[in-house]
Amino acid sequence: MAIGLLGALLMLLIRSLNDASGFVVGASISLLNFRWWKGLANALGGPSGERPLRANAAFLSARYAIAAVAIYAIVKFLGVTLAAVLAGLFVSVAAILLEILYELLFIRE
């Protein structure tokens, strides 16, 4: 979340409010997608031990279509640039890469 807020602030300072809002939308979709993957992983073999529902599987398979429709509507009707939304979509990837670097550099066993 911190990376998303920092990216939105940078986008606001460098570009415009429209681009910053597009970045926030992309980062929000990225965060939701990450939470859905985490929920699936927990359901399959996590500490809760509960089995995933068929509805969850159907939703997870349709989430990219849902995200694409949402992004299209936001870009088309709100005038947000597609590049800003796509940059926001990579927030989870950046967070994962930073976590990997942190563990490689600072965690010693």
* Distance from C-alpha of 46 to C-alpha of 68, rounded to nearest angstrom: 29
Nearest to 102 by CA among 20, 94, 89: 94
Count of CB atoms situated within 10 Å of the CB of 87? 19
Give residue limits of the domains in the chain.
Answer: 2-106
Q: For residue range 28-85, what is the model confidence (pLDDT) as tens digits?
A: 888 888 887 777 777 777 665 555 566 666 777 788 888 888 889 888 888 888 888 8
Q: What is the average pLDDT score of the chain?
A: 82
Residue 49's pLDDT is what? 56
pTM across the whole model? 0.74
